[in-house]
Amino acid sequence: MEITGTNALVTGGASGLGEATARHLHARGARVTVFDRDAERAAAVADSLGARWVTGDVTDEGDTAAAVDAASSDGPLGIVAAVAGGALGGGRTVARDGTPHPLDSFRGTVDLNLVGTFNTVRLAAAEMAGNEPGEDGERGVIVTTASIAGYEGQIGQIAYGAAKAGIIGMTIISARDLAAMGVRVNCIAPGTMGTRAWDLAPAEMREKLEAKVPFPPRFGHPEEFAALVEHMATNRYLNGQVIRLDGAIRFDPK
């Protein structure tokens, strides 16, 4: 998959890892569409790039279909980076006072991360299936976003860890499902990444977390995530893979 001249859709593209990905792909010559529920921020990022933007919710079929349509309005949709996600409150399976984890927050976190990612994958792949095949018969590539919490989630991350584990598990299955269409699917599982949200954290907390990363002992840069998206897009033999981007850290229980 060539980056230059290719239409790319980035969900969650208005901030954090998604914004870094949108900017990186644009710098490599892609025609980027930013899809995010924060309309003001999506417009600001897109306008700074001269790109398109669509506001909406990745869990909504109509909103996501509209984003796919916008991203393919002037040419084939070749690259999708499904970055939208997050945690809607944490908590233990049963709290110390005996209260069960709220079902609504668990369901909401799973919807935002797992269901939202699946919604993006299925609608984008259906669009890509109509593209003219390129080298090796490739019609498109999708990169999803999990987390190392999907492997060793910490105490209090039952909802987030379960949702991200679902995305990890979906990777090889969707890659096999879409092989006949010439659409590749890969996944990035980031560790602690230095997005703007961490700028609000106390310096002592940040330094303590960074010291736990074996090498290099720091948070990952969003641009390093974006560079891995680019590699997954351009390396045609990379398919059905989940790559940890974490400096070799393994989360402690808490």
Catalytic residue annotation: 160
Q: What is the pLDDT of the chain when averaged over all its residues?
A: 96
Structural domains of the chain, with CATH = 7-245 (3.40.50.720)
Stated as kind and residue range, the H or E segment containing 20 is helix 16-27
pLDDT at 200: 78
pLDDT at 148: 97
Three-class DSSP category at 150 = helix
DSSP class of 181 = G
Question: What is the pLDDT averaged over residues 26-30?
Answer: 98
Rounded distance between C-alpha atoms, residue 185 and residue 170, angstroms: 9
Q: Which two tokens stand for residue 197?
A: 């949200």
pTM: 0.96
| HSE-CB for 190 with a 13 A CA cutoff | 24
Q: Which two tokens stand for residue 175?
A: 């890659």
pLDDT at 235: 97
Question: What is the pLDDT averaged over residues 173-193?
Answer: 97
Three-class DSSP category at 81 = strand
Rounded distance between C-alpha atoms, residue 63 and residue 151, angstroms: 30
- Give the model confidence (pLDDT) of 109-118 as tens digits: 999 999 999 9
pLDDT at 199: 79
Answer whether 201's CB lies under 8 Å from 228's CB: no
How far, CA to CA in Å, does 135 sit from each of 73, 77, 82? 23, 16, 24
Residues, the chain: 254
pLDDT at 158: 97
How far, CA to CA in Å, does 232 sit from each of 4, 42, 158? 15, 24, 29
Rounded distance between C-alpha atoms, residue 41 and residue 51, angstroms: 13
